[in-house]
């Protein structure tokens, strides 16, 4: 097992208390007193930027009066209307999927290919979207939510969200290349560094990697850069969440404690 700058004989996945899971939906009540554009976006009308346009054009009413002030805030007792329709503040939902191969991470596909949305169809009334991406052939944990603030936090590289991958290569990883991964590999968009790396079988053809960076397809590109093909890539941990009791292709709602972990 290797860490940046040093090595150790301990496993790199720290065990944490695991809650009992169920498919009971846990929702979080949105915070009171939010910006009007965010309220409109959370109600499923449009994006925040588009909401600003609606506000500036005088198309939004709060408690029966037109509001055109940018940054205006509304509370739980306020009534917001668009085109005469009262907007309801959408509840925040969090869902975890163990993605199988053959599905692309997008909310829709003009080519008619299978998407991850097909796997969670009918899970809830709220409109969810995937947080980040997994390639079509990559399996493992994928989070869905309608909480835009949390999604932004989990996908921004500066927050360094923990992700653990198991990688099966088409040939054993040499000692020199293992050390190269530990030190960091220079890709076209800069240096790609992992937090920890370990050989998971005797010939080192199966690798465990802990990644905190958010570079696109980073794990695949590291090994392709070193001349290896990837036969299997699976994300087993995402932000402290793991795949315990979650079979491939199945989903579950997060427990309240797990939502707090992520936040």
The alpha carbon dihedral of 195, 201, 202, 203 has a sign of negative
Active site includes 203?
no
What six digits make up the tokens of 26? Answer: 């846990």
* Cα–Cα dist 45/27, whole Å: 20
CB atoms within 10 A of CB 146: 22
* Cα–Cα dist 1/15, whole Å: 17
Contact indicator for 107, 97 with CB cutoff of 8 Å: no
> Where do we find the tokens 């960076």?
213
Q: Which residue in 135, 170, 177, 189 is the catalytic one?
A: 135
Catalytic residues: 135
């Amino acid at each position: 097992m290797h860490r940046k700058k040093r090595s150790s004989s301990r496993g790199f996945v720290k065990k944490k208390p695991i809650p009992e899971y169920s498919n009971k939906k846990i929702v979080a009540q949105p915070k009171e007193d939010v910006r009007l554009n965010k309220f409109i976006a959370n109600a499923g009308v449009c994006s925040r930027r588009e909401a600003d346009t609606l506000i500036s054009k005088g198309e939004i009413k709060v408690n029966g009066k037109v509001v055109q002030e940018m940054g205006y805030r509304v509370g739980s007792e306020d009534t917001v209307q668009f085109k005469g329709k009262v907007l309801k503040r959408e509840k925040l939902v969090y869902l975890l999927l163990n993605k199988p191969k053959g599905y692309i991470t997008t909310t829709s596909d003009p080519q008619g290919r299978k998407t991850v949305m097909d796997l969670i169809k009918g899970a809830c009334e709220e409109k969810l979207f995937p947080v980040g991406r997994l390639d079509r052939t990559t399996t493992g944990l994928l989070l869905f939510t309608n909480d835009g603030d949390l999604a932004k936090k989990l996908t921004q590289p500066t927050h360094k969200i923990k992700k653990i991958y198991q990688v099966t290569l088409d040939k054993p990883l040499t000692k020199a290349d293992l050390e190269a991964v530990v030190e960091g590999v220079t890709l076209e968009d800069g240096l790609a560094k992992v937090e920890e790396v370990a050989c998971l079988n005797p010939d080192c053809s199966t690798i465990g990697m802990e990644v905190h960076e958010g570079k696109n397809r980073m794990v695949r590109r590291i090994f392709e850069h070193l001349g290896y093909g990837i036969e299997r890539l699976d994300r087993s941990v995402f932000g402290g969440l793991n795949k315990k009791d979650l079979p491939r292709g199945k989903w579950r709602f997060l427990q309240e404690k797990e939502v707090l972990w992520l936040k």
